[in-house]
Amino acid sequence: MGHMINIGVIGYGYWGPNLVRNFMDLPGVQVRTVSDFKPELLAKAQSRYPTIQVTTNCKDIFADPKIDAVAIATPVSTHFDLALAALQAGKHVLVEKPMAVSSEQAMRLIEEAQKRKLVLMVDHTFVYTGAVRKMRELITTSVIGDIYYYDSVRVNLGLFQHDVNVIWDLAVHDLSIMDYLLARQPYAVSATGINHIPGEPENIAYLTLFFESNLIAHIHVNWLAPVKVRRTLIGGSQKMIVYDDLEPSEKVKIYDKGITVNSKNSESVYQMLIGYRAGDMWSPHLDMTEALRTEGLHFIRCIEQGERPITDGEAGLRVVRILEAATQSVKRQGRLVELDLERVAA
Ligand SMILES: NC(=O)c1ccc[n+]([C@@H]2O[C@H](COP(=O)([O-])OP(=O)(O)OC[C@H]3O[C@@H](n4cnc5c(N)ncnc54)[C@H](O)[C@@H]3O)[C@@H](O)[C@H]2O)c1
């Protein structure tokens, strides 16, 4: 076995403790230091993990030569400064989603990591779930056929964020899942949204993404919904998927449903026959390992083997570019905003 990988975690609010718990569980890995501004959160970390050092000054993490990698779980507006400082201190970085507040910042981080040959990974957590990995397998092995649409609803009551709108908070999950599943980029985005609390960011939004070859995606996100829904339909020419993340185990259901267009005998398009196929439904067995564990193992392997993460800086950038375009579109009540496909090609 190689040497122990030491991790510093910045931000111990809602999400940070999940990162710490998962890293502490991995073989050959230890969280050496946790940083947060709030001493009461640090006290919690320390009582749970007595071996961990704590500090209110994250510079202590950058300055510690024993720390190999830094995980950043602070508000989005702070990701860039913290990730850049970590890279400049020679640390590998795992940064929370969304990677940064602008594509310019994301590109700067990619450049810094490349220059220093450091791993830069974005926590697009869902990509590491058994459900999403199974759907990717079904898509890449042509079980689903040509993808016609991706249609997702991600709504619940709360947690209202103050520094980002609901698109940057929730749609980012769908965008990162789509980036992985479809491995294709939209050429244009149209988005609408509104805020119901004066001066606060949009709490409800609808995004439509246009892709070449008749693939369309729609994402509906909302912090002001009476019930929690996490449901995605993926329509394909061969099969259709219903992905319900709230289902305890049968999160992915594959329906052998669809249409066949039969125009053999028709003299005009009006006589085109649509046949409906309603076959079986099945739910594949899923790897139920916690996503952050799978992701943590992947991060460590990338550090040790010099591999490129699945959710690398480029993946983070592609998602941020769509978020930026959606934000522009919302400001103009859904005006189509085009994305430069050349620039986002990985
Ligand atoms: N991957 C996921 O599924 C997922 C889920 C939730 C949140 N997140 C992401 O995690 C990040 C944090 O979200 P949260 O809900 O945990 O926020 P939070 O406000 O609960 O926690 C953030 C913590 O960071 C601390 N902090 C901020 N700047 C700091 C600094 N310079 N040094 C030390 N500590 C600092 C704050 O004191 C706070 O305790 C966000 O980017 C969010 O998008 C990801």
Tell me the average pLDDT across 94-98.
Answer: 98
Bridge partners, 230 (sequence order): 154
Cα 312 from Cα 159, distance rounded (Å) = 27
Does the beta carbon of 232 lie inside 6 Å of ligand 1? no
Q: Looking at the chain, how many residues does it have?
A: 346
Is 10 a residue whose pLDDT tops 50? yes
Question: What CATH number matches the domain at 127-287+322-344, 3.30.465.10, 3.30.360.10, 3.30.310.40, 3.10.690.10?
Answer: 3.30.360.10
How many whole angstroms from 95 Cα to the centroid of ligand 1?
10
| pLDDT, average across residues 263-272 | 63
CB 33 near ligand 1, within 6 Å: no
Estimate the crossing angle of helix 130-140 against helix 172-182, to 10 degrees: 40
pTM: 0.95
Rounded Cα–Cα distance for residues 223 and 173 (Å): 14
Looking from the CA of 328 toward its CB, the CA atoms found within 13 Å total 14
5-125+291-311 with 127-287+322-344: one CATH topology?
Answer: no
Strands lying side by side in the sheet with 29-35: 53-55, 29-35, 5-10, 69-72, 92-96, 120-123
Residue 79 CA to ligand 1 centre (angstroms): 9
8 lines ligand 1 (CB under 6 A): no
What is the tens place of the pLDDT at every residue in 243-262?
999 999 999 999 999 988 87
The pLDDT tens digits for 153-195 are 999 998 888 889 999 999 999 999 999 999 899 999 999 999 9
What's residue 213's pLDDT? 86
On whether the 5-125+291-311 domain is CATH 3.40.50.720, my answer is: yes
Query: What is the CA(214)–ligand 1 centre distance, in A?
Result: 38
Q: Give me the residue spans of the domains in the chain.
A: 5-125+291-311, 127-287+322-344
Query: 235 falls in which pLDDT band (50, 70, 90)?
Result: very high
Chain segment 274-331, per-residue pLDDT in tens: 889 889 999 999 999 999 999 999 999 999 999 999 999 999 999 999 999 999 999 9
Residues whose CB is less than 8 angstroms from the CB of residue 318 and which lie 6 or more positions away in sequence, other chains included? 179, 185, 344, 346
Task: Please report the pLDDT score of residue 160 as a whole number.
Answer: 81
The mean predicted confidence, pLDDT, of the chain is 94
